[in-house]
Structure 1
Amino acid sequence: MSTLKRALAILDLFSLDTPVLTAEDIISRLAYSAPTGYRYIRDLSDLGYLLRMTGGGYKLGPRIIELDHLIIDGDPVLGVARPIMREVVDQVGGDVLLSVIHGLRILNIHHERGPDALGIPHGRGRAHPLFRGATAKTIIAFLPRKDQRRLYDDHVEEVHASGLGDTLAAFTASLDAIRVQGFYLGVGEISSERAGIAVPVFQEDRRIFGALTVTFLATRLNTIAQDKTTALLQSAARRIESLALATRIKEQAPAP
């Protein structure tokens, strides 16, 4: 592992359960030598990625907030996605999420809220369950086969519990079925009160970028027009892909 990766691994230790860590905690969890660990902590603090608290512990620093602000205001995908997602909310109701796959983690990057109080805990920046819910199953279905195998090997028990299959062959067959269908409807998989429909969002080379998901109260399942909602989501996803690509091309074009 490179020096940069070893230093940045410190940031991965922070979570909602462990928002504050002492230097000793960090060094112990990563099995770094004391001189190396303290050097990394000092460097990350100097750059603003860590902030030392009065009690001696460390939390994530203001530089991360600044970078998040730059992403929100400068990301071409978010720039075109936000108004399109708002249109979906206005037409369907419910909440609409845009989620991405990063490595083998699924993160929500934007959340447009609808009229109902859904209490969704997976807002912007939250990691999503890997094998439960419409978002995760849609994204995983469109991953390359090697990544699907890696997910299965690393999370066998979770895959079995999710109902996606008790063997690798059954797991990939379940994902292939979702892929052929082109969307996934999940009911009560993350919360018994909610249902969701998700469709894939692709990059320009047709690699999976993430998923666009509308989440609504499960009690609306019999009244919502599922086919119409799915078609609306698919149209919104294609518009996001097209406009994001056009924006990138425009930004990369040489000045006249």
Structure 2
Amino acid sequence: MTKRDQEEGQSNSKSGVAAVDRAFTILGAFTHEQPVQSLAELARNTGLYKSTILRLLGSLEGFGYIRQMADGNYQLGPKLAELSSIFQDAFDLRDYVEPALKDVVNQTHEGVSFLVRDGDTQLCLFRQDGRHAVRDYHIRVGTRLNLDSGASARIFRHLSNPARLPNPLPRYYAISRGEVNGEMAAISAPVFGARNELVGALQISSPIARFTDDHVEMLKSVDTEASVRLSISLGLDPRQFSSDLEALHD
């Protein structure tokens, strides 16, 4: 497909005005791996003409969404940090999740993440690093993962439909070893909301070398207990939970 075909396809998008779609395409091209990009890189990563990108970059820069650096390259602008702050202020889940994460780290010394499903991906919304010198550096706030593999992916694949959940709920958990990263292992447990809906996954991750049987049993206990407490704090009736543990497998 040529760049012209791609641009015409985007201009026919039903989701909004073509220029807006293209502007969001440019913003979406910036990633943790490529936080700073040249015009040529943006053209390659978006499939848009350089002339189109330059025109939109001017508008985005004027509103603070893009910043041109002294060397001519581009990075995201300060307006996005402001919007992120507004989003976090309105999304009070932080007030419940962050204390739960800190408690898990205090008990296990391992890193723990809170992930949410976002379409056909999962997004790390909150994160507390562990206290070990050797720990999981591969996941942080904003990291996006697919739903094909990993402990938290299994949670989202199996438990996203409230109508299919039993009553009472078992204390679900999922374990993965080397699925997402060959050196890391993880255990994940679901967090539910007041209407039995799956809100997210509480995932503890560590190097595989520390994932011994005894350590896994301890992590399983801490993670499932933390996920139950967090679910209850979010409004789920504690009577909805049974005392039975149930592992999720593919």
Fold conserved (TM > 0.5)? yes
Instruction: Judge conservation of contact 1:105–1:127 (CA < 8 Å) in 2.
Output: yes
* Paired position in structure 2 for 1:126: 143
Secondary structure of 2:213's match? Answer: coil
**C-alpha deviations, 1:177-229, integer Å up to 9, x for none?**
xx988221112323444321101223444343321011234334222262x64
- In 1: Cα distance, 2:159 partner to 2:22 partner: 31
Summarize the alignment of residues 1-256 of structure 1 with structure 2, pairs less than 5 Å apart. Answer: 1=13, 2-3=16-17, 4-23=20-39, 25-27=41-43, 29-32=45-48, 36-72=52-88, 75-117=91-133, 118-143=135-160, 182-218=172-208, 219-224=210-215, 226=217, 229-244=219-234
- In 1: Cα distance, 2:39 partner to 2:202 partner: 39
Distance 1:98 1:38, change over 3 A: same
Amino acid at match of 2:112: V
Instruction: Judge conservation of contact 2:111–2:136 (CA < 8 Å) in 1.
Output: no
* Superposition misfits of 4+ residues, deviation over 6 angstroms: none
Instruction: Judge conservation of contact 2:66–2:74 (CA < 8 Å) in 1.
Output: yes
Instruction: Judge conservation of contact 2:26–2:53 (CA < 8 Å) in 1.
Output: no
* Equivalences, count: 212
Question: What runs of 5+ residues in structure 2 fail to find an aligned partner?
Answer: 1-12, 162-168, 237-250
- C-alpha displacement at 1:98, in angstroms? 0.6
Secondary structure of 2:70's match? Answer: coil
Quick check: 130-139 or 100-109, which moved more? 130-139
- In 1: Cα distance, 2:212 partner to 2:137 partner: 17
Distance 1:243 1:58, change over 3 A: same
TM-score by length of 2: 0.70
Secondary structure of 2:130's match? Answer: coil
Instruction: Judge conservation of contact 1:76–1:244 (CA < 8 Å) in 2.
Output: no
- In 2: Cα distance, 1:201 partner to 1:42 partner: 43
- In 2: Cα distance, 1:22 partner to 1:191 partner: 30
Question: What runs of 5+ residues in structure 1 fail to find an aligned partner?
Answer: 145-178, 247-256
Instruction: Judge conservation of contact 1:201–1:209 (CA < 8 Å) in 2.
Output: yes
Secondary structure of 2:131's match? Answer: coil
CA-atom RMSD, angstroms?
Answer: 3.1
Amino acid at match of 1:125: G
Secondary structure of 1:123's match? Answer: coil
Distance 1:220 1:38, change over 3 A: closer
- In 2: Cα distance, 1:21 partner to 1:60 partner: 10
Percent identity between the aligned chains? 23
Secondary structure of 1:216's match? Answer: strand
TM-score by length of 1: 0.69
Instruction: Judge conservation of contact 1:122–1:128 (CA < 8 Å) in 2.
Output: no
Secondary structure of 1:138's match? Answer: helix
Secondary structure of 1:76's match? Answer: coil
Instruction: Considering fraction of residues, name the structure with more strand.
Output: 2
- In 2: Cα distance, 1:51 partner to 1:185 partner: 42
Amino acid at match of 1:206: N
Quick check: 78-87 or 34-43, which moved more? 34-43
Secondary structure of 1:183's match? Answer: strand
